Structures are given as structure tokens and as C-alpha cells.
């Protein structure tokens, strides 16, 4: 079974609108971390946001928020007020295990969602 599933291969969003990118995960660990990365056409990987499995509140970083639904094993990324510069590939990733020292913070990535922001 896939550990990280991103079901939307690509999507369009109108500038200034919000967009939700889906991510579901599969793990039997009680302690894990969920991440979102952005990959623009230039190719670099840019860290956006992190959610720990024991964090009670959804993570937010500026225009990015993570809608964490633990029972459903979903960690959707919400981008508010989309900008043209948000056009990129977005990857969801998971670290299994109780943290850096135990697990080395190894990440498993999903297949990505391509977002194109229309002016």
C-alpha cells in the first residue's frame, strides 16, 4: 500500500482564490510527522509546513495551512489567496517514528500535485 497518496495529479486555480491539495497517508505508528514541500519549475524543493501527529492545532505558515484530520489519516494543504508564483508541484511527505533521533527523520513522499494559477 502507498504510504502517501496524492490523488490530484493536476489542478487549475484562479488567482486570489483558495485551493486545497489532498494528501492521505498510511501508517501504524502513533508518532509521525507530515510535511508539505513546493517544487517550482526551477526544480528546487522548498519546505512549506509541518504537522506533528500529536499537535492538537492545525499548522499554519502565512498563506499555508494544513488541515489535519487524524482519524481520516488526511493532511490536506490549503493555500489561501493564490498568487501566480504559487504555480508549482506540491509534495506531501511523512516521517514515521517518534522523531529525529529515533527515525533519522527519513521522509516518504507522495507523487505530487501540479498547481497552475490562472490570472
Q: How far is the CB of 33 from other proteins (least distance, A)?
A: 6
Among 45, 81, 84, 116, binds other proteins (CB under 8 A): 45
Contact by Cβ (8 Å): 49, 35: yes
- Of 15, 60, 105, 116, which one interacts with other proteins (CB under 8 A)? 105
21 binds other proteins (CB under 8 A): no
β-bridge mates for residue 18, sequence order: none
| Complete DSSP assignment for 39-75 | E-TT---EEEEEEETT-SSPPEETTEEEEEETTTTEE
Q: Which of 43, 62, 85, 119 binds other proteins (CB under 8 A)?
A: 43
Nearest to 93 by CA among 78, 72, 77, 110: 110
Which residues are at the interface with other proteins (CB under 8 A)? 4, 33, 35, 37, 43-47, 50, 52, 91, 93, 95, 100, 104-112
Amino acid at each position: 500500500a502507498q504510504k502517501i497518496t496524492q490523488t490530484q495529479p493536476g489542478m487549475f486555480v484562479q488567482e486570489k482564490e483558495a485551493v486545497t491539495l489532498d494528501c492521505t497517508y498510511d501508517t501504524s505508528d502513533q508518532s509521525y510527522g507530515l510535511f508539505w514541500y513546493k517544487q517550482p519549475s526551477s526544480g528546487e524543493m522548498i519546505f512549506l509546513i509541518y504537522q506533528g501527529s500529536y499537535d492538537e492545532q492545525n499548522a499554519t505558515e502565512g498563506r499555508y495551512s494544513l488541515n489535519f484530520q487524524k482519524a481520516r489519516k488526511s493532511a490536506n494543504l490549503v493555500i489561501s489567496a493564490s498568487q501566480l508564483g504559487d504555480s508549482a508541484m506540491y509534495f506531501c511527505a511523512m516521517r514515521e517514528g517518534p522523531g529525529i533521533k529515533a527515525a533519522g527523520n527519513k521522509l516518504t513522499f507522495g507523487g505530487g500535485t501540479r498547481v497552475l494559477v490562472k490570472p
